[in-house]
Amino acid sequence: MARLTYIQDKIVSIEEAQKRIALFQLKNEAVVFTNGCFDVLHLGHVTYLAAAADLGKRLIVAINTDDSVRRLGKAPNRPINDAHARATLIAALGFVDLVIAFDEDTPLEAIRTLKPDVLVKGADYDQNEVNPLKSGFIVGSDIVRENGGIVQTIDFVHGYSTTEILKKGAQ
């Protein structure tokens, strides 16, 4: 079970993540941060996360807790997988260094606490939008930029989304 322990050791509290990130950054290892529900892990997620990992040396993935997912109003049966299962699947990806969970509606506090070097979201957001009141604004982008970091978006893999996959299964 050593491999499972290795995977589980990647799932940490925000306080532990803060300590590990400080060590990464001390070694000049650029820390990339992204977040999402990652409810039903699929090719689109893996492709997106691999591309995010390529933007730095260390990839931190923040997942919404179950309550946070429910508040997003995706569907009454969401999340399909609980937070523990989602975190474990994300942590099992070799290019993911740490996984944290956040219970707020957005990862703003996690970003403020962790101070990543690179903030990544999907291309449905606008990496250049600076007005938090506009659609497409990336939560925390102002904080990352103020700390000298960069904000990047990554294109989606067409035809792969959790919503679409669940629709196919219901047919």
Paired tokens of 138: 């990336």
pTM for this entry: 0.94
Q: Which residues pair with 154 in a beta bridge?
A: 122
Residue 98, pLDDT above cutoff 90: yes
**The pLDDT value given to residue 161:** 79
- Average pLDDT of 148-164? 87
| CATH number of the structural domain spanning residue 63 | 3.40.50.620
Q: How confident is the model at residue 171 (pLDDT cuts 50, 70, 90)?
A: low
Q: Which helix (H) or strand (E) holds 122?
A: strand 118-122
Looking up tokens 């904080």 gives 143
Q: In degrees rounded to 5, what are phi and psi of residue 34?
A: -145, 170
Range of the domain at 147: 2-170
Q: How many domains does the chain fold into?
A: 1
- Average pLDDT of 113-130? 96
Residue 108, pLDDT above cutoff 70: yes
SS3 of residue 27 by DSSP: coil
Paired tokens of 2: 């050593």
